[in-house]
Amino acid sequence: MRLLYFAWVRETIGVGEEDVQPPEAVRTVSDLIDWLRGQSEGHALALVDFKRLRAAVDQKFVPLDSDLGPAREVAIFPPVTGG
Amino acid sequence: MRLLYFAWVRETIGVGEEDVQPPEAVRTVSDLIDWLRGQSEGHALALVDFKRLRAAVDQKFVPLDSDLGPAREVAIFPPVTGG
Amino acid sequence: MIRVSVDSAPIDVGVELAGIEESGAGGIASFIGVVRGDGGVTCLELEHYPGMTEAVLCDLAEQAMTRWALMSAVIVHRVGPMEPGERIVLVATAAAHRGAALEACAFLIDRLKTEAPFWKREQRGERATWVDARESDAEAANRWTG
Amino acid sequence: MIRVSVDSAPIDVGVELAGIEESGAGGIASFIGVVRGDGGVTCLELEHYPGMTEAVLCDLAEQAMTRWALMSAVIVHRVGPMEPGERIVLVATAAAHRGAALEACAFLIDRLKTEAPFWKREQRGERATWVDARESDAEAANRWTG
């Protein structure tokens, strides 16, 4: 599974993308975030607060409690601020 | 008193402006229009229907029943269609 | 900054919008009206009431500046003969935030349609007809009252 | 005609609006967002999610085309570093009548603000801070639902 990070999530984790193979028990986006928190100090710091995070699965916005399903690309980022 | 006509009012009357001295009894814009109807066939034809006419006194839109007061410039024209 | 212009020269959108951008605003809304060629129109001629037109447009621009705390309001209206595809009118507003700019822009074009002394004559080949005022324009202008 | 562009090059308003005018519309509404220099901002940097951004903008443009029977919808968003006074975004819509063009333009910029994956970072001298999302943007986007 390919992960993408943007804005301060990317900066705090220290990389913009990485490939991961989360365990079977990781079923939802929140599960994934929980699991990622254990990967490094940067991950723990960037992903500490669910309320400040949004996600897209295969380039569609999804609520954090969505099933990952057969996701190939998951992006985690702050609320958007374009325009 | 200076009169100005625009659009088809101007075309039907045949002139864009003229100076007139209406009698004392002409007090409102409608009175003026009534009086103008007797000035020529063109005036009569152009000014036949109050509902199709609008007016400005000294460059301010006014209802047709407004007093002319000390008006120097009265314009008579169809509803506007700019933009 | 208020800019009002009634002129027979073509409207240069790039120049007008560049001018309004210099007001330091965060958002610029604009509306451009273009002569439509449908119904076989070959030429549109715009007549106006010199003096009164400019006064009405300035007054509308001032109302918009106050009501939406704009940084700029621009109204440029073309008069004389023009062809399908040419610009008749440009309205542009600049404000700190987009909501104010967009609303003020709609206000200006709606009110211009019913309050500014312009008259349109459409030419179709040899035949010329004066355009009738539309009830829907009066309704659009009325929503800004009160 | 739909045109969506996400690019680091400056936005040329004259070119974009001339393109949309060719659609034969009677009215063209547009909104331009400009980098504000207030609060001492010296540079604004726009990050985005390549691929998803273009897909979201195309989808918004298609929604607007259908909902307001537009002739054209254009969304041009700049990314990368830019300075105060430079254009961040241009949204333009063309329709037979002004009401549709103006409403669709407001819809596109409101929804872009909450649905397109862009993130702003403000630089003030040496200090860079990510801009927080605003509650008022969510409210503005919500008025188009249903």
Q: Is the pLDDT of residue D136 over 90?
A: no
Q: pLDDT value at position C10?
A: 97
Nearest CA in chain B to C78: B83
Q: State the CB neighbour count (10 A cutoff) for residue D109.
A: 27
Tell me the pLDDT of chain B averaged across its residues: 97
Residue type, C129: T
Query: Which DSSP string corresponds to D95-120?
Result: ESSHHHHHHHHHHHHHHHHHHS-EEE
Question: Does residue A83 fall inside a structural domain?
Answer: no
Question: Does residue A17 fall inside a structural domain?
Answer: yes
Decide: D43 and D114 in contact? Cβ < 8 Å. Answer: no
What are the helix (H) ranges across A1-83?
A: 7-13, 29-37, 41-46
Of C55, C112, C130, the CB nearest to B82: C112
How far apart are the C-alpha atoms of B60 and B66, rounded to whole Å?
11
Low-confidence ranges of chain A (pLDDT < 50): none
- Work out how many domains chain B is built from and give that number: 1
Cβ distance of C119 and B4 shorter than 8 Å: no
CB contacts < 8 A (C, D): 85
Of D13, D101, D102, the CB nearest to C17: D13
Kindly state the percentage of chain B with pLDDT values over 90: 100
Cβ distance of D98 and C28 shorter than 8 Å: no
Domain annotation for chain D: domains and CATH numbers:
2-134 (3.90.1170.40)
pLDDT tens digit sequence for C4-50: 999 999 999 999 998 898 878 899 999 999 998 888 999 999 999 99
D38 pLDDT band, cuts 50/70/90, is confident
pLDDT tens digit sequence for D53-112: 999 999 999 999 999 999 999 999 999 999 999 999 999 999 998 999 999 999 999 999
Chains that touch B (3 or more CB pairs under 8 A): C
User: Do the chains B and A touch each other, judged by at least 3 C-beta pairs below 8 angstroms?
Assistant: no
How far apart are the C-alpha atoms of D81 and D96, rounded to whole Å?
37
Chains that touch C (3 or more CB pairs under 8 A): B, D
Cut 0.90: pTM above it: yes
Q: Is the pLDDT of residue B79 over 90?
A: yes
Q: Tell me the average pLDDT across D118-122.
A: 97
Tell me the pLDDT of chain D averaged across its residues: 94
Q: In this complex, is the C-beta atom of C102 within 8 Å of any C-beta atom belonging to chain D?
A: yes
Kindly state the percentage of chain C with pLDDT values over 90: 81
Question: Nearest CA to CA, how far is A18 from chain D (Å)?
Answer: 15
Q: pLDDT value at position D146?
A: 64
Nearest CA in chain A to D131: A81
**Rg (Cα) of chain B, in Å, rounded?**
12
B→C interface, C-beta within 8 Å: 4, 6-8, 10, 56, 59, 61, 75, 77-83
Q: Tell me the average pLDDT across C48-72.
A: 98
Cβ distance of A77 and D112 shorter than 8 Å: no
Query: What is the Cα D72 distance to its own chain's centre?
Result: 15
List C-alpha distances in Å: A49 to A54, A60, C104, C126.
11, 21, 40, 73
Tell me the pLDDT of chain C averaged across its residues: 94
Q: What residues make up the domain containing A7?
A: 2-77
Of C14, C17, C26, the CB nearest to D36: C26
D24 pLDDT band, cuts 50/70/90, is confident
For B64, the token pair is 């047709």
Q: Which residues of C touch B77 (CB under 8 A)?
A: 49, 117, 119
Question: Does residue A46 fall inside a structural domain?
Answer: yes
How far apart are the C-alpha atoms of D15 and D128, rounded to whole Å?
33
Of D33, D51, D133, the CB nearest to A80: D133
Q: Is the pLDDT of residue B37 over 80?
A: yes
CATH code at position B70: 3.10.20.30
How far apart are the C-alpha atoms of C117 and D50, rounded to whole Å?
50
Nearest CA in chain B to C90: B83
- Compute the half-sphere exposure of residue A14: CA atoms within 13 Å on the CB side of its CA: 7
Question: Nearest CA to CA, how far is C126 from chain D (Å)?
Answer: 23
Cβ distance of B79 and C133 shorter than 8 Å: yes
Smallest CA-to-CA distance from D86 within D43, D129, D143 is with D43
Nearest CA in chain D to A60: D52
Q: Helix count (H) and strand count (E) of chain D?
A: 4, 8
Cβ distance of C96 and D36 shorter than 8 Å: yes
Smallest CA-to-CA distance from C12 within C30, C28, C27, C37 is with C30
Q: pLDDT value at position C39?
A: 83
ipTM of the complex: 0.91
Who's near D19: CB < 8 A, 6+ residues apart? D3, D74
Of C55, C109, C117, the CB nearest to B80: C117
How far apart are the C-alpha atoms of C77 and D64, rounded to whole Å?
28
How far apart are the C-alpha atoms of C137 and C75, rounded to whole Å?
18
List C-alpha distances in Å: C45 to B34, C88, C136, D103.
30, 10, 22, 28
How far apart are the C-alpha atoms of C82 and C52, rounded to whole Å?
22
Kindly state the percentage of chain D with pLDDT values over 70: 99
Of C52, C116, C119, the CB nearest to B7: C119
Higher local confidence (pLDDT), A34 or C139: A34
Q: Is the pLDDT of residue C146 over 70?
A: no
How far apart are the C-alpha atoms of A57 and A82, rounded to whole Å?
20
How far apart are the C-alpha atoms of B66 and B28, rounded to whole Å?
5
Decide: D43 and D83 in contact? Cβ < 8 Å. Answer: yes
Who's near C144: CB < 8 A, 6+ residues apart? C107, C110, C111
Q: Which residues of A touch D118 (CB under 8 A)?
A: 80-83
Q: Tell me the average pLDDT across D28-34.
A: 97
Q: Tell me the average pLDDT across D3-26.
A: 92
Collapse the DSSP code of B13 into the 3-class scheme (helix H, G, I; strand E, B; otherwise coil) and give the result. Answer: helix
List C-alpha distances in Å: D68 to C14, C111, D2.
26, 22, 14
Question: Nearest CA to CA, how far is C51 from chain D (Å)?
Answer: 26
